[in-house]
Amino acid sequence: MDLNLAVLIDGDNIPSSYVKEMMEEIAKYGNPTIKRIYGDWTNPKLSKWKKILLENAITPIQQYGYTRGKNATDSAMIIDAMDILYSEKVDGFCLVSSDSDFTRLATRLREAGMKVYGIGEKKTPDPFIVACDKFIYLEILKYEAEEEESETTDDKPKTKISVDKITQKQIRLIASTISDLADDDGWAFLGDVGSLLQKKQPNFDARNYGFQKLTPLIKSIKKFEIEQRETSKGRSKLIYVRNKR
């Protein structure tokens, strides 16, 4: 069953150019029943958002900057989030910002049993990332979209966002997660491995390293073995992984 999600966007903090890919990504996790964006709409900096809001049925929430240097948008978004939480109309939240000011909000929502997805740029501070159940980088969504576009047209993408190279630290994280779940022969079900990786590191995503899914990422690393097993009914195959001995 799809989760009903409240999508709350920090308009002062997120470029409008990401909105198409962002909304497509959110649809993978649930039904965005509430979509709001916060900012001072008298500010010319937000003018690019205006047409996009209509196209994506996102409700703009006006928030004047009362004091120079203070971000009133954050406060309005946090108050709205708590109102939505107590209304009991949603099962989870998508907090779209690269601002660590939402760390406590994400923590509080999870304490209340909400699923919390964070979406922001790679500059997002770690405290906000780890406060979410899952964190997705906007640059990766844009990179993915441009890769698909380049496959269907002869033109090269206008911008190229480089994917990260997987580090020894990430490889050790995968290896320890496999060990945590392994049976007596060292094999672990890859679906469980992916879920535990997400809990340990909310921004772990195979797409960050240039792979669509976890399976090809694991296959690319020489330290792991992969085995496909048929289910008892033989209709599908399950993928198991273990650390090479």
Average the pLDDT over 84-98 and give the result.
94
Q: pLDDT-derived band of residue 82, with 50, 70 and 90 as boundaries?
A: very high
Mean pLDDT value across the chain: 86
Alpha-carbon distance of 10 to 52, in angstroms, equals 15
CATH homologous superfamily, domain 168-243: LOTUS domain-like (3.30.420.610)
For the ranges 5-9, 72-76, 87-91, 213-217, which has the lowest average pLDDT?
72-76
Q: Which CATH number fits domain 3-147: 3.40.50.1010, 1.10.287.370, 3.30.1330.10, 1.20.58.100?
A: 3.40.50.1010
**What are all long-range contacts of 112-121, with beta carbons under 8 Å and residues at least 24 apart?**
112/85, 114/85, 114/90, 115/3, 115/29, 115/30, 115/91, 116/92, 117/5, 117/26, 117/29, 117/92, 117/93, 118/94, 118/202, 119/22, 119/25, 119/26, 119/94, 119/95, 120/13, 120/14, 120/96, 121/14
Average the pLDDT over 19-33 and give the result.
92
Are 3-147 and 168-243 the same fold in CATH?
no
Percent of the chain residues past pLDDT 90, beyond the cut: 56
Q: Which residues pair with 219 in a beta bridge?
A: none
Contact 241, 190 (CB under 8 A): yes
The pair of three-digit structure tokens given for residue 146, joined into one six-digit string: 């441009």
Average the pLDDT over 123-140 and give the result.
93
Residue spans of the domains in the chain: they are 3-147, 168-243
Q: Which residue has the higher pLDDT, 93 or 15?
A: 93
